[in-house]
Amino acid sequence: MGSVRAVLIDIDGVLTVSWQPLPGAVEALREIRAAGLGVVLVTNTTSRTRASIARTLTDAGFAVSAEDILTAPAVTAAYLAEHCPGARCALLNSGDIAEDLGEVTVVGEDEGGDTAPDVVVVGGAGPEFGYAALNRAFGHLQRGARLVAMHRNLYWRTDEGLQLDTGAFLVGLEKAARVEAEITGKPSAAFFEAALAHVGVGADEAVMVGDDIESDVLAAQRAGVTGVLVRTGKYLPQTHRAASGTPDHVIDSFADLPALLGELRGSAQR
């Protein structure tokens, strides 16, 4: 890789768990910024807007703004504008993300006829993912709607332990409707390309830090970005052992990242 100029950082499980900062994370991010590195927080979080995430992280002590954050909903909005302009979308998601969806037209569940959705957009799982909602989405797909998903994460970690996420339901929709979802968030290559463009660096000048070995780390490596796996958040030793590839680097926590970046930058200069 070239000299490190920017760091792509997952939020949930890396900087925070249930929005509470992990030990040393606030200080490590401050140190990374002080070293002059670009920072973009890349997250599949679909329950909050960029502005809401920024406020929560700021209250937790992180020096970030909404401009530092790239979310799956924001990337999804851009994807729909490019690939499905003017489409009517049925949104299945837990949380209010309307602010980040921009000009996306969301069709209400009680609308039909000529306003039936062209696209089923699946966000993050939660109480809204009940039988009626999933069956309604299944019906739209049978009638020819496209399936766009913000991610296919199977679970994430909260202060109550691992919780089911979208991927556990998405697989069923895909198989039942015989369609394949178009993924807009991590691990899609387009998401990492958007993150690199956001911070203005090439893939060989960036490092991606995440707790999901497949969606965060190995996906970034396939996009040419150096991957760093942290042993926090959803990290599980058995998932690490069974992964489809090998992370470039593994550290115990985000608090250890400044030291690793110092080593990488020093190696590039020699």
* Mean pLDDT (whole number) for 73-78: 92
* Mean pLDDT (whole number) for 22-40: 97
Residue 189 has pLDDT above 60, yes or no: yes
* Mean pLDDT (whole number) for 83-106: 90
Could you give the percent of the chain with pLDDT greater than 90? 82
* Residue whose C-alpha is closest to residue 67's, from 47, 53, 81, 84: 53
Task: Encode pLDDT of 233-244 as tens digits.
Answer: 999 999 999 999
Q: Which residues contact 205 (CB under 8 A, 6 or more apart)?
A: 1, 2, 3, 4, 5, 6
Residue 89 half-sphere exposure toward CB, CA atoms < 13 A: 26
Q: Which residues contact 111 (CB under 8 A, 6 or more apart)?
A: none
For the entire predicted model, the pTM comes to 0.83
C-alpha 34/C-alpha 182 separation (Å) is 38
In the prediction, which pLDDT does 5 show? 96
CB 186 within 8 A of CB 211: no
> Residue 270: pLDDT band by 50, 70, 90 thresholds?
low
